[in-house]
Amino acid sequence: MSRRSGRCTAGSRSAAASSPAGKPVTMQDIARECGVSKSTVSLVLARNPHCYASEQTQRRIIRAARSLGYVSAQLLREPQRLYNTRFVGMVIRTLSGNLLARRQEQRAIDIPAVHGYRPVIRSLARAPRGGGLDATRELVDAMRFLHSLRPKGLLYAGRLGGDALAAELADARGRLPMVSLDAKLEGCDCVEVDRALGAKKAVEYLLKLGHERIAFIWSSRPTGGGGGKAERPSVFRTMDDVENSLALYDMLALRLSGVMEAFRSAGLSAEPESFIHCRAETAFAAGEIAVDEILRRLGRRSHPTAIFAFDDELAIAALWAISERGLCVPRDISLMGFHDYPEAADVKPALTTVRLDAATIPATAARYLIERMHGKAPQAPRCTRISPKVIVRQSTAPPRAKRRP
């Protein structure tokens, strides 16, 4: 066996002699042979979902481990039993690493684990925020990785878009039981949150308080990669411009459709200048941009009296920015979020928001998957739609002009 430029050419059992005589082969021996770190070897052999070594490197490590006679890992001793019977693949969209996202993941993991299945998770970064081409590429990579493990079922909580991703999803649906979250896939069970209805309820609540001039804000990362540099907010001249801005952000587009439905139901029309798209590397930077743009309009007769942020993270950032600029929520302007992250109840004033049922969604999806894997599900695909609800706290109030003296 030889090592050239960090590549190992594992081929014979006699390679085990590289380990001291009479001692079992260790991960350090494999790392030395392949020119990688011991931690990388550990992650690969454990099939850790947070291992980002290339597929080529992972294959080299496993090949070297087998050739050297490394047999302590159950993964290598019993690959067929583990891969074909005990694995459930999960593609889960991570929401900024917040507590709500971790609870959602745990709920999705618990049910398969109770039935003796080991979940293998690919958690996705938010790049760019809300979706986009980078997120689609990441989803394709996640699907291909999970396919290589030959799981018994797949829980998919990604997004739709792109021919490559469509091909991977079609292949998965044809080969194994599959349940999707927030993405309707033909021929498989689905659990989704009616985000459009959630946004509609939020606007209806603000209209009921008397707010007719509402600013709508959302954020994404800078178009040029950013490097930490924020961009000026987008200025929209028509509602077509607003819709085009959200074309790559499927979940945000659903919120927009709910907003438009609420205005139509109330006999009102949405003004394009009420929508503010901020591009910044962090939600806090985006919140500052949005608030500065809104404050710039306060001198006008048509200035907004309320802000509806399309996610709680941005709403909390806007709350901080408003306070830093000497104004008070809700005395000077009302503020509403979307998601009901745990932090929303802890800020001062506590954030009025739209609650998505974070416990029911993944638990229902995981239960559907187990039923489908065990042949206990109805033949026709099921689709469960969960209705969000408005959680009223202290960050909203009637506009000043309509308050009682």
Q: Is the pLDDT of residue 19 over 60?
A: no
Most confident of 147-156, 274-283, 294-303: 274-283
Q: Which of 55, 77, 99 is the last residue of a domain?
A: 77
CA distance linking residue 197 with residue 203, whole number of Å: 10
171 and 264 share one domain: no
In terms of domains, do 238 and 287 share one? yes
| pLDDT score, position 105 | 60
Amino acid identity at 33: E
- Give the tens place of pLDDT for each residue, 332-379: 999 999 999 888 999 999 999 999 876 778 788 888 999 999 899 898
Window from 45-49, 171-175, 193-197 with minimum mean pLDDT? 45-49
pLDDT band of 94, cuts 50, 70, 90: low
Global pTM reads 0.70
**Which strands sit side by side in the sheet containing 275-279, from one edge to the other?**
231-234, 275-279, 214-220, 306-309, 334-336
189 with 172, same domain: the answer is: yes
Please check whether residues 393 and 264 belong to one and the same domain.
yes
Q: Which of 66-75, 83-92, 189-198 has the highest mean pLDDT?
A: 189-198
Segment 290-313 shows an average pLDDT of 85
Residue 403: name the closest of 263, 266, 305, 267 by CA. 305
**Pairing relation of β-strands 214-220 and 306-309?**
parallel
Same domain, 251 and 396: yes
> Do 206 and 321 sit in the same domain of this protein?
yes
pLDDT of residue 78: 40
Residue 11: pLDDT over 70: no
Cis status of the peptide bond prior to 49, with omega within 30 of 0 = no
Containing structural domain, residue 208: 195-356+389-402
Segment 36-52 mean pLDDT:
77
Residue 101: its pLDDT value, please? 54
Angle between helices 55-68 and 27-34 (to 10 degrees): 120
The domain that holds 86 is classified in CATH as 3.40.50.2300
More confident residue, 297 or 289: 289
Summarised one tens digit per residue, pLDDT across range 134-171 is 556 677 777 777 777 778 888 887 666 656 677 777 87
Q: How many Å apart are CA 394 and CA 351, to the nearest integer? A: 6
Q: Are residues 236 and 120 in the same domain?
A: no
Those residues whose C-beta lies under 8 Å from the C-beta of residue 262, and which sit 6 or more positions away, are 199, 200, 201, 202, 203, 204, 207
Instruction: Tell me the per-residue pLDDT of 102-113, one tens digit each, with 9 for 90 and over.
Output: 555 666 666 676
If asked whether residues 175 and 228 sit together in one domain, one would say: no
Of the listed ranges 110-114, 150-154, 291-295, 311-315, the one predicted with least confidence: 110-114
pLDDT digits (tens, 9 = 90+) for 232-257: 787 788 999 999 888 777 788 899 99
The pLDDT score that the predictor gives to residue 206 is 97
Give the pLDDT score at 12: 36
What pLDDT is attached to residue 187? 84
Q: Residue 224 has what pLDDT?
A: 53
Residue 276 confidence (pLDDT) above 90 = yes
Which has the higher per-residue pLDDT, 347 or 96?
Answer: 347
Q: Check whether 66 has a pLDDT greater than 90.
A: no
Pair 8, 34 in one domain: yes
Do 213 and 131 lie in one domain? The reply is: no
Query: For residue range 204-215, what is the model confidence (pLDDT) as tens digits?
Result: 999 999 998 999
The verdict on 367 and 261 lying in the same domain is no
Mean pLDDT of all residues in 103-131: 62
Average pLDDT of every residue of the chain: 78
| 170 and 153 in a common domain | yes
Q: For residue 132, what pLDDT is reported? A: 46
123 backbone dihedrals φ, ψ, rounded to 5°: -90, 135
